[in-house]
């Protein structure tokens, strides 16, 4: 990582919103790739995640960093989500019941929007009924479930089973993701797709769309 990206990662890591905003704006002015700028911020929040895991930082510090990161993401959003593209299809995105983590879910939605998908975001801590209602109202091609906790990941299966029960499973592809999710787990719960991050999530959505066309 370049020195300045490291600076950006540190600004996120230490929750310094002013610095985050300054560095992001400066980089965009110098026509740097918004995706690279985003990666700098993700590196910062992930580094903080490690310290959080080890008990070296606590929730309030994490929240301050999340707020700083969101300020930076808000500046990048219009650049990542280029509105001038014809819609490829609709994706319902949401963080499953019991889960209030939304940075990853928002980034996945943003990258998909930037690559031509219409996004319906059901938000955080979304009960199964909310996903089903969104499917019925919007007839999406894909539903993208985000789960960051080992205790909320089983919700993927709950949503998939309910889609089946309500007769929607044939018409919608389900893709899942979140830090603890593995491709094996995705298969185990009967999901059609999985991606490691918000960039490969776009490739995965494109792949799923292709399988529907056949
Ligand atoms: C920020 C954060 C918080 C913030 C969330 C704020 C917010 N608005 O999101 C706050 C402080 C609120 C929080 C709370 C908690 N957290 Co927390 N949190 C994190 C942290 C540090 C970073 C998460 C993050 O935003 N990462 C950055 C984004 C960009 O990455 P991401 O979410 O993984 O998303 C990427 C990919 O996974 C993927 N992706 C994500 N979703 C999807 C969906 C699809 C369909 C696809 C294809 C891809 C995809 O693409 C994304 C972008 O590239 C992680 C640590 C970590 N390493 O993940 C812990 C972590 C997830 N939290 C954890 C815990 C335990 C909690 C709490 C229970 C703590 C507590 N004791 O209260 C609560 C639970 C709250 C709840 N009910 O949900 C644990 C989970 C452990 C586990 N395995 O279950 C972690 C792993 C930390 C740890 N190591 O202990 N947390």
Q: What is the mean pLDDT of residues 114-128?
A: 92
The pLDDT value given to residue 199: 80
Pocket, ligand 1, Cβ cutoff 6 A:
42, 45-46, 48-49, 52-53, 59, 62-63, 66, 98-105, 107-108, 144-146, 148-150, 175-180, 195, 197-198, 201, 204
How far is 62 from 7, CA to CA, in rounded Å? Answer: 18
Residue of minimum CA distance from atom 72 in ligand 1:
59
pLDDT score of 84 more than 80: no
Give the number of other CB atoms < 10 A from CB of residue 93: 29
pLDDT at residue 181 above 80? Answer: yes
Question: Taking the complete model, does pTM exceed 0.85, yes or no?
Answer: yes
Q: Which CATH architecture has domain 3-80?
A: Orthogonal Bundle (1.10)
CATH for the 89-213 domain, from 3.40.50.150, 3.40.50.280, 3.40.50.10310, 3.40.50.970: 3.40.50.280
Q: For ligand 1, atom 3, which residue shows the shortest CA distance?
A: 101
One fold for both 3-80 and 89-213? no
Higher pLDDT, 111 or 40: 40
Residues near 143 by beta carbon (within 8 Å), at least 6 away in sequence: 91, 92, 93, 131, 134, 135, 159, 163, 172, 173, 174, 175
- 3: pLDDT strictly greater than 60: yes
DSSP string, 51-93: HHHTTSS-HHHHHHHHHHHHHHHHHHHHHHS-TTS---EEEEE
Supply angle C-alpha 195, 199, 188, rounded to 5.
5
Q: Give the number of the atom of ligand 1 that is nearest the alpha carbon of residue 181.
A: 37
Position 110 scores a pLDDT of 82
Q: With beta carbons less than 8 A apart as the criterion, state whether 65 and 44 touch.
A: yes
pLDDT of residue 2: 62
Where do the structural domains in the chain lie, given as residue ranges? 3-80, 89-213
Give the CA radius of gyration of the chain: 17
């Amino acid at each position: 990582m370049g020195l300045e990206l490291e600076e950006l990662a540190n600004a996120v890591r230490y929750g310094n919103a002013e610095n985050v905003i300054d560095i992001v704006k400066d980089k965009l002015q110098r026509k740097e790739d918004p995706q690279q700028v985003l990666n700098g911020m993700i590196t910062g929040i992930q580094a903080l995640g490690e310290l959080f895991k080890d008990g070296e930082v606590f929730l309030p510090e994490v929240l301050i960093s999340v707020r700083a990161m969101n300020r930076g993401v808000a500046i990048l959003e219009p650049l990542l989500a280029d509105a001038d593209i014809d819609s490829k299809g609709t994706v319902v995105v949401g963080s499953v019941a019991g889960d209030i983590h939304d940075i990853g879910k928002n980034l996945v939605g943003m990258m998909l929007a930037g690559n031509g998908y219409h996004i319906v975001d059901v938000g955080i801590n979304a009960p199964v009924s909310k996903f089903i209602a969104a499917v019925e109202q919007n007839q999406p091609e894909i539903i993208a479930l985000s789960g960051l906790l080992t205790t909320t990941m089983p919700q993927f299966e709950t949503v998939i089973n309910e889609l089946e029960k309500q007769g929607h499973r044939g018409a919608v592809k389900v893709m899942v993701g979140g830090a603890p999710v593995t491709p094996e787990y995705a298969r185990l719960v009967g999901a059609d797709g999985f991606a490691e991050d918000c960039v490969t999530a776009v490739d995965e959505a494109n792949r799923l769309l292709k399988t529907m066309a056949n």
